[in-house]
Amino acid sequence: MAEEQQRLSSMKAQVYKDSREKDYFDKFHQRARTTDPNWVYEVVRMLTVMWGLSAFRMRGYHSERVPNEGAVILAPNHASFMDHFFVGAFIRRRVRFMAKSQLFKPPGQWVFSPGGVFPVRRGAFDEDAFETTYSILERRGTLVMYCEGGRSRDGKVSDRARPGIGRIALQSGAPVVPAAIYGSVRVRNWKKLQFPKVLVLYGEPIRWEVVERPTREQQQEVADAILVEIKALYAELEQLGPKGVNAKAKSERRAAAVRTVKPAL
């Protein structure tokens, strides 16, 4: 435990400011708003899913709770650079997500932008990122958004959400599917040949009535409600473990398969 805490404390501080002008990112936002991810997405998805299944033995539960069509927001906890790939691995929809603007430079931008990723300028009020999320949802896309705002440094789910996801949920009216990713914090140790088992549990979709101009309090209330669902899902994974989650999922599938037939008169 002491070694793990020392490792986390020695991690490089995250850089929040991007010195480049906001106009530099217009081309990335325009592409994300008007164009679906191309073949680059499928190539990256195939490689990351293969890596996740083989190295991290990742397993997903209740992916059927994610709507097959229409706009949807996936809201997982966030502890690893692989989380967006983990949460998207068990659904066939092409997920879109924002990434810190510092990543949008050659050669990374040649993969991120065609793959459906768009930038967000952290440390600034980035209205362009919000407009891109609305455009994606208006086009019936699938958006991954972390209500914690950034990666957890200790792997624990934060006690407070950022209001941005509440604003998007209220203004778009898109359903939110909370999700818990367990074990991904230790993915950071892959260079040390440590490969934890990663579990993903999807919750039931939640939809709020549309509010065109939600107050800050309304945004925060919705964001906090989403975080409560994420923490409950995470606690379930933490308490039951892989074997317990597998057993519960099988039991729920059997129960769903049972149907009552009324005898003929």
Return the pLDDT at 187.
80
Per DSSP, the three-state class of 199 is strand
pLDDT digits (tens, 9 = 90+) for 75-125: 999 988 889 999 999 999 999 999 999 999 999 999 999 999 999 998 778
> What average pLDDT does the segment 229-233 reach?
96
pLDDT at 6 over 70: no
- 263 pLDDT band (50/70/90 cuts)? low
pLDDT at 10 over 50: no
Beta bridge partners of 199: 59, 182
pLDDT digits (tens, 9 = 90+) for 117-128: 999 998 778 899
pLDDT at 41 over 60: yes
pLDDT at 241 over 70: yes
Per DSSP, the three-state class of 7 is helix
Phi, psi (degrees; rounded to nearest 5) at 187: -60, -25
pLDDT at 247 over 90: no
Peptide bond just before 107 cis, omega within 30 deg = yes
- Which residues are within 8 A (CB) of 256 and not within 5 positions of it... i.e. 6 or more apart? none
Which tops the pLDDT comparison, 212 or 16? 212
